[in-house]
A and B are shown apart, each in its own frame.
Chain A
Amino acid sequence: MIEKKWYPIFFMFVVTAIFSSFVIGFTQTTLSRVKANEKLIFEKAVLAVFPELYNSVKNASGIETHNAFVKNIKEPDEQTGSAYSYRIDNKVKGYAVTVKGEGFWAPIKAIIGVDADKKTVMGFAVYQQSETPGLGAEISKPEFRKQFENKLLSKDAQFLTIKRPGSPLNESSVHAITGATQTSVRLEKIINDGLKKWQESMPKETK
């Protein structure tokens, strides 16, 4: 049979069908888990930009993190523009602005926490990045992220500035990571573009 002309086609067809159905089955059984993981990473990042919430979930399990998210965080609505919001008794305590853009290797997606006064930064967290491990990837480490806490969004050209390591800082700037110039330049653009978009999406304040 193996000598027949039609045999290779038949064989490929059968082999492909068997292996494909196996892979499809395997994907289906793990799909919900994969999706949940992705969602959880996002939820944890949102909580991480509000220090008072983050301390309670730092070492929490997946389900505890999810519950904390559902309890404290509201989806974007007309009141908050494009940002998620942290509310207590329906009063806005802070905004979680999602920002994204091209990093050095692949897209960076991050969240910036802004206080209810819309001026003070509460925190910064990255939930997706593929920067160089040990260099650009340090943007998701606490040492870098902590710098953003209590910074003020500047009224000048840029809300927040990422400056060269060692240079003097002001109330709206943080230090970049040594050796990760590209990541820092891109991240600065991502943050500022994202914040600008959010402010434009906010309802105009009534005086």
Chain B
Amino acid sequence: MAATNLQVKKFAAEGLWGNNPIFRQVLGLCSTLAVTNLVLNTLVMCGALVFTVACSSATVSALRNYTPRNVRMMVETLIIAVYVIIVDILLKAYWPQMSSNLGPYVGLIITNCIVMGRCEACGISNPPVGAFVDGFFNGLGYCYILIIIATFREILGMGTFLGFAVPYFSTPYWDKWIMMVMPPGAFFMLGLVVWFFRTIQIEKEKRK
């Protein structure tokens, strides 16, 4: 049942680029806007999301032959909720500071469309290993876009990267763009990033 190398490559290419959750499917934007004002918060959120997508997709896949079609959505939500609660509890128990930084957004992973999207698109029709790999790379596809957004927002808005002062941007010469760490800054950055990646993608397709 193991996924072949070719399959893994295909899942990776689709999740990271061809069918990227953010700039191609335009899913999961709520958390993209909410948690990208500090790079560290973003990294933890990404880790949580990759874990949730990969594991729930694999679990949905493992149960796919026993799940009646008419209740599959309920089962998927249930499975997703279990993994999200685990992440939430782990953070509360072992990283309380981060848990309070992310506030309600960890719990809100349940409603992140990427997770359910992958369960429906891949988990329900592929063997567990493939579903896990697919979920993992879709999670990563979400991560790198978020990290790009967060890096710009934190540097421009606060003059720091991962909390460390960045030369020039943390000095008085740089008038901090406070708007970048506020919600509107996220909209601008997301728009620019989607525009940028879409343009590259379209150019590539034209040349083919």
Contact = CB atoms under 8 A, between A and B. Distances in A.
Interface string B76-113: 00110010011001101110100011010000000000
Contacts of A19: 78-79, 82
A59 interface: no
Interface in B162-208: 178, 181-182
B181 A132 contact: yes
Contact of B74 (A12, A30, A33): A12
A132 B86 CA distance: 25
Interface stretch (B15-23, B62-70, B122-130, B140-148): B62-70
Nearest to B97: A41
A192 interface: no
B93 A11 contact: no
Given A26-B86, A41-B96, A106-B103, A135 B182 contact: yes
Interface of B: 37-38, 41, 63, 66-68, 70-71, 74-75, 78-79, 82, 85-86, 89-90, 92-94, 96, 100-101, 103, 154, 157-158, 178, 181-182
Nearest to A2: B68
Contacts of B154: 134
A63 interface: no
B41 A133 contact: yes
Contacts of B181: 132-135
A157 interface: no
A133 B183 CA distance: 11
A15 B100 contact: no
B63 A26 contact: no
A128 B68 CA distance: 45
Contacts, number: 71
Given A128-B100, A133-B41, A134-B37, A30 B67 contact: no
Interface in A105-136: 105-106, 128-130, 132-135
A165 interface: no
Which of B68, B79, B181: most chain A CB closer than 10 A? B68
11 contacts: A11-B67, A12-B71, A15-B63, A16-B78, A26-B85, A41-B96, A130-B100, A134-B38, A134-B181, A135-B178, A179-B182
A30 B93 CA distance: 6
A22 B79 CA distance: 11
Contact of B86 (A7, A23, A129): A23
Interface string A1-35: 01000011001100110010011001100100110
A105 B104 CA distance: 11
Interface in A70-125: 105-106
A38 B63 CA distance: 37
A27 B68 CA distance: 29
A54 to B, nearest CB: 17
Contacts of B89: 26-27, 30, 34
Identify the 6 closest CB pairs spanning chains A and B, nearest first: A134-B181, A30-B93, A37-B96, A8-B68, A179-B178, A33-B93
Contacts of A41: 96
Nearest to A140: B100
